[in-house]
Amino acid sequence: MTPSIIWHPFTQHALEPRMKRIVSTEGAYLVDEDGNRILDAISSWWVITHGHRHPVIMQAIRAATEAYDQIIFAEYSHEPAERLAEGLIAAVPPGLRHVFFSDSGSTSVEVALKMALGYFHNRDERRDRIVVMEHGYHGDTIGTMSAGERGVFNAAYAPLLYGVDQIPFPEPGLEQHTLDALEAFCRTGHIAAILLEPLVLGAGGMKTYAPDVLKSVRAIANYYGCLVIADEVMTGWGRTGTMFACEHADVSPDILCTSKGLTGGALPLAATLCTSDIYDAHLSTDRRKTFFHSSSYTANPIACAAGVANLEVWKHEGVSARIQALGNLHGQHLPRFEDDDRFSGVRRIGTIVALDLNVTASGYLADVGPRMRRLFRERGLLIRPLGNVIYLMPPYCISMPELSHAYDAIDEVASIILGRPR
Ligand SMILES: *Cc1c(COP(=O)(O)O)cnc(C)c1O
């Protein structure tokens, strides 16, 4: 046990060793105080897209500090926010016309929920229920926890969480159950919005589902006049092989949340985009219809400048081709685990791969996750399994040998945990 004055996130300090300090980052690596280079195979909790300290983004940040710090974002605007908003509208699926800035993924979802409720409130329609998907994750604030899967992570806070309507996860072959459940909720007439992570549920265990499900959700929502909120906080910026995951299904949500890769992962920033319909429902000479939301650091100009630089990187550095290449590399490695009885559910979507280690005690609290973390750490890798789910979500700059190292480590660690080779 190591007493720590810093209370680290998702960390049981009674069980963890003293954390080493990271002294610098570069590309796919973290460098610790002893000079060890650690391969960041999970993009530092899914935020780093191109690689750590991308020179174009770092330069944009330095340049922005010559002109700006934080500026109040009511009464005044600034160029980095305006350029970023224009770039975002061009980058997301069509139909999203307005951008509301905030500072984290959780906040972007809170904003989305408030936009949805405000939309119906301002139109004097009584719709105030939210449909969510089983195993969903939308953040750690009270509001987003309410919309996420209930479990050991939020049991203590359950008295503060509001009720939502949950549809089952669309397991392969059982998709119709999910859609039927959705339709039953929609028929009540009380559903304001359906909030979901398109195509892959991240924190819920990298669970993937077919684009057709998203298409059908969109169709049902249209029929019953419900809004669709796509939480693309994790799936955005190329992770699933397209810039946004909704593109796989050719679907435009009414509201889209983005954060993690928005600045390439360099600085905290988030945006919630919405349709003109939603914006217009808040546009009125009646001040009570104002969208009442703000945070102190809304649209921080330095973070926005990093976001603009990220868009430049996307435009000029062949990011899409790199993502395809990374997907292909995964495709070469992954088959070795496909008929391996140590694993099940071997899956890939774009740059993300996941596989379930066949242990009997699954679930987050099982010891297997922390044990694997330590074994990966000893092999110079940052990999944090979700219970028995091992996944890789590397920055796009990762090289072929680096990726091979990660796959070899998964093979080795699995054998150690299970006490047997393949
Ligand atoms: C990480 C995540 C969030 C929360 O983002 P924070 O920046 O950690 O608040 C919300 N939704 C999804 C899908 C996420 O993966």
Instruction: Answer yes or no: is pLDDT of 364 > 70.
Output: no
Least confident of 46-50, 76-80, 359-363, 402-406: 359-363
Q: Is the CB of 191 under 6 A from ligand 1?
A: no
Distance CA 49, CA 57 (A): 12
Give residue 360's pLDDT band: very low, low, confident or very high (50, 70, 90). confident
Instruction: Answer yes or no: is pLDDT of 2 > 70.
Output: no
Tell me how far the alpha carbon of residue 318 lies from the centroid of ligand 1, in angstroms: 26
pLDDT for res 130? 98
Instruction: Answer yes or no: is pLDDT of 92 > 80.
Output: yes
pLDDT for res 421? 83
The structure tokens 């009540």 sit at 188
Q: Which amino acid is at 146?
A: S
Q: Which residues are annotated as a binding site?
A: 45, 105-106, 137, 231, 260, 294-296, 384
| Relative orientation angle of helices 400-418 and 319-333, to the nearest 10 degrees | 40
Ligand 1 closest atom vs CA 259? 7
* String of DSSP letters for 157-211: GGGGPPP-EEEPP--TT-HHHHHHHHHHHHHTS-EEEEEE-SSEETTTTSEE--H
Q: Is the CB of 298 under 6 A from ligand 1?
A: no
Strands (E), 67-189: 98-102, 129-133, 165-167
Residue in 358, 360, 385, 372 with CA at minimum distance from that of residue 416:
372
Q: Which amino acid is at 160?
A: L
Going by CA atoms, what residue is nearest to atom 7 of ligand 1? 105
Using one digit for the tens of pLDDT, what is the confidence trace for 114-170? 999 999 999 999 999 999 999 999 999 999 999 999 999 999 999 999 999 999 999
Give residue 422's pLDDT band: very low, low, confident or very high (50, 70, 90). confident
Architecture of the 55-317 domain: 3-Layer(aba) Sandwich (3.40)
Ligand 1 closest atom vs CA 105? 5
Tell me how far the alpha carbon of residue 336 lies from the centroid of ligand 1, in angstroms: 31
Tell me how far the alpha carbon of residue 233 lies from the centroid of ligand 1, in angstroms: 6
Of 10, 44, 137, 349, the residue with max ligand 1 atoms within 8 A of its CB, to mutate for a pocket test, comes to: 137
Using one digit for the tens of pLDDT, what is the confidence trace for 64-91? 999 999 999 999 999 999 999 999 999 9
Tell me how far the alpha carbon of residue 260 lies from the centroid of ligand 1, in angstroms: 7
Q: Is the CB of 197 under 6 A from ligand 1?
A: yes
Number of neighbouring beta carbons within 10 Å of residue 417: 19
Residues 272 and 248 sit within 8 Å (Cβ to Cβ): no
* String of DSSP letters for 338-382: TT-TTEEEEEEETTEEEEEE--SS-STTSTHHHHHHHHHHHTTEE
Least confident of 201-205, 286-290, 363-367: 363-367
Domain definitions of the chain by residue range:
55-317, 321-418
Going by CA atoms, what residue is nearest to atom 8 of ligand 1? 105
Give residue 362's pLDDT band: very low, low, confident or very high (50, 70, 90). low
Instruction: Answer yes or no: is pLDDT of 3 > 90.
Output: no
Instruction: Answer yes or no: is pLDDT of 365 > 80.
Output: no
With pLDDT > 70 as the criterion, what percentage of the chain qualifies? 98
Using one digit for the tens of pLDDT, what is the confidence trace for 226-266? 999 999 999 999 999 999 999 999 999 999 999 999 999 99
Of 42, 49, 106, 267, the residue with max ligand 1 atoms within 8 A of its CB, to mutate for a pocket test, comes to: 106
What secondary structure letter does DSSP report for 228? Answer: E
Residues 100 and 291 sit within 8 Å (Cβ to Cβ): yes
Q: Which amino acid is at 222?
A: N
Mean pLDDT of the chain: 96
Degrees to nearest 5, angle at CA 150 with 145 and 154: 60
Architecture of the 321-418 domain: Alpha-Beta Complex (3.90)
